[in-house]
Structure 1
């Protein structure tokens, strides 16, 4: 028996990278020690503890556990193997119960140069003396303590008194202090799981078609010993052997209160077609593997998530509609008083899967997003649902001064090369056909309220709203009392919100009742071909409704240009209204194309900035006559937009050198005083093609710019606008 215990300890040491000297000592009171207002639970002797911090709470020493977390925003679609350890690091966490204010002292093993306690909205000001950090806590709450930056952070879970159960009562599965390895546990109706303080349960809890289930207690549920064996493309796998810490299918009357969920192989806590769910005071930590979502409520209703902490390496608090239950409506979902640290994807999200007839009455309220990789508040509508009555209220986003850009890993040996200065989005509302869409039809979005939301930090996060077409649109968005670094914004431009096509009735309110409709900022028109905009086409395997072949809408050159201009106050385009038009027909029929007729709506839009991005579909100009005709047609096109206005015009070259077409594009730009951007050299670098970034079956799609190429195009256009460069 002693030999088997030693093997277990050595295995944990090897997996977590902890030295044996950091292991906990045998506790005298395994049930927890209470002194006055604080209860501390000793750790199991076999459990590795942190070497980075020691902590006392109201004078009591509290064990500091370890968890593996992501060290960088570097991710890929499930490749059939788990994420390598060298992309991770060890962080620390501690928990206790409290009933009254307490003093906390943290001793850091590293010299202390700076300390940040998040959420910063809590206003906790530490006292630092040498390597000792002291502060006061009035109430139970969840915090992240960052010493010298966010790496190797300390997470604090100060809990209200834990609920208790009779260990011997019928239907109770009781896990007392110590290490347990039950593996996968399938729960039946009317069962209660209790994970006591000081317990670490290696395994997971699953249930299907069960009612009146409870999972309670302040201890730890760790799923690190479970293997993942499938990707997320086969939704039938979602319902069987899923492998997260807690996985529920078609269950009702579920209560989850208190436990710490650590290191799942993919989604941490998921519920599919469930109802009457109450989730409170749970803490999700150590989510570093591929698709390590936090809490996913899929095709469920009447669910409440309160006072929880989620640090996840994928979407954090999520409402989804999956095709397996595509006829089940989703309604009455509330996330409230949660703390979110998002290291990939979205923090608060509906989507991207929205296969449901209706998604309504979803509220995210009073939540702190201490970090997000991509988007803080997101409705990414990829399927047919009628989404309506969604509220984001009192959401507080913190943007780090040094924020590294998320990056897709292309190949097993690829290394992370992301740079600091990344600006995540604050709010995104978008209807699209994306990689996770399963419905043929798009849906709608109505009555979205963003109230009393704020962001702090040196890097202003942009926001973007966009519909799909005239039928599948976004209508009715109210933004009220939005604050940026404490200042209430009074216009879309000031808020950095770009309003795209098929969006209407967007209003922004200040406390004095002022209201600004969309389109008060300047207008931008993009005329291009498939590189600018290409709708879904199953015959070539293209599912996007954006510039081909970016991996996502926000990564095509058009949206990168919009984002860059919105971050340049001097550009005057900080809240642009923009339109996009694919004019490949003009390229193919430039000699006979009826410009005034076909482009009348675009001309009447009267853009302040016109970006003309064409040429690839123009047949090679082999005669002087064809060259002259192409020049004449370009001249007519550009001057049509100068008749009743004076727009800034940007004309780009072909993506790839064209000795016959590029000189004419350049001359046509010069003739009307436009800026010319030469991007022809980009095609000479294989890394700029989509085929270099991901497998694409269709050669035509693969030969379009990928994310890197799109960024290079956008950078060239923005640079020309900055410099006012003319041919």
Structure 2
């Protein structure tokens, strides 16, 4: 059974590629993505569109392997399908390419580097009941911001685009599901809008209850992005494609018993468009997702105003990560909580990153411990561009850049720009196991950068149990190390 997502009338169709799935036309949706890692922070207005570029995606469901044929609209020399761990080798066929996808997942077809790529979203079939739910059928729905309440279920049809965002406050049993699109183009960030659900002027306490929090939202122009959940329980976010947010795309504050499964984030090129931010959450499973974001992708934060809750029992597995700015799989930098523990990143592919692949920044008071990165595959490409902080909006990105390689692992304790507690934390009992590095030919061994903050607030008991480069197990001497002060035992197996 093959079902290919259609593009509603009026929505942009890409001219970069034409594609078929098992011989059936698969329309490519046109999107904007970040063109290069050039970030101003916040200059008082949104990121200029000329810092983005054209890209596209196709989406479909099938219960069996599929054959993809793609004809690009340009000449090319090299073609690669990521994640590399899937072992997909595209073959030339006339002026195009053909390859087979054996299993559902998220893929990227890249020609002569990562620019102007084709994202491929292959889902297993699933039907959703339309009765008794908030259903968005085929077509474009201009909803704006929609509040959800306990027991609400949203279903977005595979051929639907919802131009709006969803949020819930102090709710339970909320579900946002379907294979359609949540499009954040309705929202515009300005100096008068609030990015985070906290009073950034005072970093004061936020009332987590629905009534008090709604008062807070009314007196602040709080942004929604694609999805936001505040103090919610037993909630599901599943399947949807999130595009063009003007803020953090999907963020959850002080939530518990949360399941995020199979969502795709793409077309996220504006300032601070983080992927999935879990703030002071517990008992969470995030799995089978694709995150391409212009800022940190999969992030666990502790935020002032919500910091009465610790972060624990959180598993993130089978994710495909493309980080256009910042850090790919991250704890921090804000760690306003007493503890982080029982954290597992497992079976993930980082296909592109800028600053670092696997990251712990302990910027506040938290004791971060018992964190595992297991079976993570990290790809390094010769086309990677250097991250540059922009200080003058009239100065273009300096291109070409020299060859650049992100850090593989970064662990730092510090107090700095993002620190809000004024109290340093500590980090210990961190395990990196079966970390696979796939660099392009000629690239050097990966870098590991570790530094504590002060006596009693350092980094201790970090274990590296298997770091492999193109299948070869690396020794301690193969790694490029940057080790600062207040770092305890580093066990390299």
Q: Could you say which TM-score interval applies, normalised by the shorter chain?
A: over 0.9
Q: How big is each residue's C-alpha offset from its partner over 1:393-422, in whole Å with a ceiling of 9 and x where there is no partner?
A: 111111111221100110221211151311
SS of aligned partner of 2:354: coil
Aligned to 1:210: 171
Aligned to 1:184: 145
8 A contact 1:80–1:231 mirrored in 2: no
Q: Does 1:164 align with 2:128?
A: yes
Q: Does 1:409 align with 2:390?
A: yes
8 A contact 1:55–1:106 mirrored in 2: yes
Q: Does 1:503 align with 2:479?
A: no
Q: How big is each residue's C-alpha offset from its partner over 1:79-126, in whole Å with a ceiling of 9 and x where there is no partner?
A: 210000111101000100010111111111112321110111110011
8 A contact 1:403–1:420 mirrored in 2: no
Q: Does 1:484 align with 2:469?
A: yes
Q: Does 1:175 align with 2:160?
A: no
8 A contact 1:227–1:243 mirrored in 2: no
Q: Does 1:454 align with 2:415?
A: no
Any residues of structure 2 matched to 1:332-371 within 5 Å, and which? 332-371=313-352
Q: Does 1:137 align with 2:122?
A: no
Question: d(CA) in 1 for partners of 2:390 and 2:246?
Answer: 19
SS of aligned partner of 2:186: coil
Aligned to 2:210: none
Per the TM alignment, residue 461 of structure 1 is displaced from its structure 2 partner at its CA by: 2.9
| Equivalent of 2:234 in 238, 245, 253 | 253
8 A contact 1:402–1:420 mirrored in 2: no
SS of aligned partner of 2:199: helix
Aligned to 1:44: 8
| Equivalent of 1:469 in 441, 451, 454 | 454
Question: More helix by proportion, 1 or 2?
Answer: 1
8 A contact 2:447–2:481 mirrored in 1: yes
Q: How big is each residue's C-alpha offset from its partner over 1:357-386, in whole Å with a ceiling of 9 and x where there is no partner?
A: 111111111111111010000000000001
Question: d(CA) in 2 for partners of 1:459 and 1:83?
Answer: 33
| Equivalent of 1:421 in 380, 403, 407 | 403
8 A contact 1:243–1:266 mirrored in 2: yes
8 A contact 2:195–2:223 mirrored in 1: no
Residues 459, 243 of structure 1: alpha-carbon distance in 2 compared, 3 angstrom cutoff? farther
Aligned to 1:560: none
Residues 440, 42 of structure 1: alpha-carbon distance in 2 compared, 3 angstrom cutoff? closer
8 A contact 2:5–2:58 mirrored in 1: no
Q: Which fold has the larger relative contact order, with Cα–Cα distance below 8 Å and residues 6 or more apart in sequence?
A: 2
Question: d(CA) in 2 for partners of 1:163 and 1:356?
Answer: 40
8 A contact 2:113–2:383 mirrored in 1: no
Per the TM alignment, residue 454 of structure 1 is displaced from its structure 2 partner at its CA by: 1.6
SS of aligned partner of 2:489: strand
8 A contact 1:107–1:132 mirrored in 2: yes
Aligned to 1:196: 157
| Equivalent of 1:301 in 274, 278, 282 | 282
8 A contact 1:93–1:155 mirrored in 2: yes
Q: How big is each residue's C-alpha offset from its partner over 1:664-700, in whole Å with a ceiling of 9 and x where there is no partner?
A: xxxxxxxxxxxxxxxxxxxxxxxxxxxxxxxxxxxxx
Unaligned runs of 5+ in 2: 201-205, 207-212
Question: d(CA) in 2 for partners of 1:93 and 1:402?
Answer: 21
Per the TM alignment, residue 180 of structure 1 is displaced from its structure 2 partner at its CA by: 0.5
Q: Does 1:122 align with 2:86?
A: yes
8 A contact 1:193–1:216 mirrored in 2: yes
Aligned to 1:381: 362
Per the TM alignment, residue 234 of structure 1 is displaced from its structure 2 partner at its CA by: 7.8
Question: d(CA) in 1 for partners of 2:65 and 2:55?
Answer: 26
Question: d(CA) in 2 for partners of 1:424 and 1:68?
Answer: 24
TM-score (norm 2): 0.93
The number of residues matched between the two structures is: 469
Q: Does 1:287 align with 2:278?
A: no
SS of aligned partner of 1:121: helix
8 A contact 1:183–1:202 mirrored in 2: yes
Q: How big is each residue's C-alpha offset from its partner over 1:32-79, in whole Å with a ceiling of 9 and x where there is no partner?
A: xxxxx3111322122111111111111111111011100011001112
Aligned to 1:571: none
SS of aligned partner of 1:211: coil
SS of aligned partner of 1:212: coil
TM-score (norm 1): 0.63
Per the TM alignment, residue 423 of structure 1 is displaced from its structure 2 partner at its CA by: 1.6
Q: How big is each residue's C-alpha offset from its partner over 1:634-655, in whole Å with a ceiling of 9 and x where there is no partner?
A: xxxxxxxxxxxxxxxxxxxxxx
8 A contact 2:415–2:424 mirrored in 1: yes
SS of aligned partner of 2:185: coil
| Equivalent of 1:235 in 198, 206, 217 | 198
